[in-house]
């Protein structure tokens, strides 16, 4: 982490009581005949966090926990059911497209599938130039072409690559093009939604190293979304662990892997390959994520938790301060969790990214 700019205490992005519910009710007449009520899928249900300027804040969890929904809420692609999203103190949740025009230039997104997010009919130079033209950041064909060439060099491609189409590139190169397009509007904040999950494992570390270099050189702030804890370990300053639409733990990246608190976090870490081959007994994550249409009472994790008690089954835990971080767990609050059998080495090269090292 020494090669990154130090994050300031000033929050760039603040999320408060953020929720997004999707109605999945039967048609009105069906409900009337069956005397049924409206049904809601609570994809995100009351999330709070702040992202400091210059840091990488990661959200991690299994598929369906609400990570990508938060990404869409933060950039304004979806409107929240309740709660607020603030960028430099300005509320962006639920505002009109015209009202967000100034902020949209400074908030960009990198998507999971680089091929699906690039127009296959456009040449790369036109894809990257589109934000420059839309925000009027350069005038004249020569100035735009010079800026596109500069962006291609920043992501370790050549200006000649601008003449090609997306299908002529590998997956890693397409993601570099997506990154160049995101940088074209000179943003301060990038939402990275699973930017390496669609890539071959051999190039994941290259993309992560590129993103860290760009953060250092351009002073960028990242919201990094991933289900892969090994990837999160290499890039994050702070990490929020999500389960069924809520945060269950929030702490620094180093503390999360050295002393994970929540039972769910501990079980997720057990999925990371043990490159030291220590022979320590490992407990994989058991069971399935409950349906957000019918979440369990009390703590949502209690059906899968080996430390659940009667209180966990009837009372939902609040996110409370514990040491340097925050955790939502009755077992942690009551001191019922046993000590860890072993902790992760703080050497980031000891945890592989799909067999590669960042």
pLDDT score recorded for residue 97: 72
Report the C-alpha gap between 211 and 192 in whole angstroms: 10
Q: What integer best gives the mean pLDDT of the chain?
A: 87
Q: Looking at per-residue confidence, does 346 or 341 come out higher? A: 341
pLDDT class for 276, splitting at 50, 70, 90? Answer: low
Task: Look up the pTM and report it.
Answer: 0.88
Phi-psi domain of 222 (left: phi exceeds 0; alpha: psi -120 through 50; beta: other): beta
Counting residues of the chain whose pLDDT is more than 90, the rounded percentage is: 60
pLDDT score recorded for residue 95: 75
Please enumerate in sequence order all residues whose Cβ is within 8 A of that of 45, keeping only pairs 6 or more positions apart, or say none.
19, 21, 66, 245, 246
Helix (H, G, I), strand (E, B) or coil at 293: coil
pLDDT score recorded for residue 284: 62
Under 8 Å between Cβ of 248 and 301: yes
Cβ atoms within 10 Å, residue 345: 13
pLDDT surpasses 80 at 2: no
Q: Hey, what domains does the chain have and what are their CATH numbers?
A: 11-17+50-243 (3.40.50.300), 249-350 (no CATH)
Task: Return the H-helix or E-strand segment holding 32.
Answer: helix 28-34
pLDDT score recorded for residue 6: 54
pLDDT score recorded for residue 274: 61
Report the C-alpha gap between 219 and 189 in whole angstroms: 9
pLDDT score recorded for residue 93: 75
Task: Return the H-helix or E-strand segment holding 17.
Answer: strand 11-23
Print the SS3 string covering 124-178. Answer: HHHHHHHHHHHCCCCCCHHHHHHHHHHHHHHCCCCHHHHHCCHHHCCHHHHHHHH
Counting residues of the chain whose pLDDT is more than 70, the rounded percentage is: 88
Helix (H, G, I), strand (E, B) or coil at 252: strand
Report the C-alpha gap between 131 and 186 in whole angstroms: 9
pLDDT surpasses 80 at 114: yes
pLDDT score recorded for residue 35: 80
pLDDT class for 34, splitting at 50, 70, 90? Answer: confident
pLDDT surpasses 60 at 279: no
Supply angle C-alpha 191, 184, 226, rounded to 5.
Answer: 20
pLDDT class for 275, splitting at 50, 70, 90? Answer: low
What does the DSSP assignment read for 269-285?
Answer: HTTS--TT-------PP
For 251-269, the pLDDT digits (tens) are 999 999 889 999 999 988 8
Q: Looking at per-residue confidence, does 76 or 169 come out higher? A: 169
Work out the average pLDDT over 212-233: 92
Under 8 Å between Cβ of 229 and 195: no
pLDDT class for 358, splitting at 50, 70, 90? Answer: very low
């Amino acid at each position: 982490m020494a090669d990154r700019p130090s994050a300031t205490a000033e929050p760039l992005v603040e999320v408060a009581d953020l929720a997004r519910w999707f109605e999945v009710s039967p048609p009105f007449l069906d409900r009337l005949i069956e005397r049924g009520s409206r049904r809601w899928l609570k994809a995100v249900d009351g999330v709070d966090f702040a992202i400091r300027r210059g840091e990488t804040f990661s959200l991690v969890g299994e598929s369906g926990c609400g990570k990508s929904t938060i990404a869409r809420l933060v950039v304004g692609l979806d409107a929240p059911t309740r709660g607020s999203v603030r960028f430099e103190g300005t509320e962006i949740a639920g505002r009109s497209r015209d009202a967000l025009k100034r902020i949209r230039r400074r908030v960009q997104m990198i998507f999971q599938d680089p091929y699906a997010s690039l127009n296959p009919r456009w040449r790369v130079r036109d894809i990257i130039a589109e934000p420059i033209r839309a925000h009027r950041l350069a005038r004249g064909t020569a100035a735009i072409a010079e800026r596109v060439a500069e962006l291609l060099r920043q992501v370790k491609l050549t200006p000649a690559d601008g003449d090609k189409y997306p299908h002529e590139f590998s997956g890693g190169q397409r993601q570099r093009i997506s990154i160049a397009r995101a940088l074209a509007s000179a943003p301060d904040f990038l939402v990275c939604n699973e930017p390496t999950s669609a890539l071959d494992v051999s190039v994941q570390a290259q993309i992560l190293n590129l993103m860290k270099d760009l953060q250092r050189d351009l002073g960028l702030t990242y919201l990094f979304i991933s289900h892969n804890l090994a990837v999160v370990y290499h890039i994050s300053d702070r990490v929020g662990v999500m389960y069924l639409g809520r945060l269950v733990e929030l702490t620094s990246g180093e503390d999360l892997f050295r002393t994970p608190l929540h039972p769910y976090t501990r079980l997720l870490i057990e999925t990371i390959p043990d490159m030291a081959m220590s022979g320590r007994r490992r407990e994989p994550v058991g069971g399935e994520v409950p349906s957000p249409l019918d979440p369990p009472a009390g703590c949502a994790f209690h059906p899968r938790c080996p430390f659940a008690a009667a209180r966990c089954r009837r009372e939902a835990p609040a996110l409370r301060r514990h040491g340097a971080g925050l955790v939502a767990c009755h077992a942690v609050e009551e001191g019922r969790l046993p000590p860890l059998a072993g902790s992760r080495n703080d050497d980031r090269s000891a945890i592989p990214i799909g067999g590669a090292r960042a």
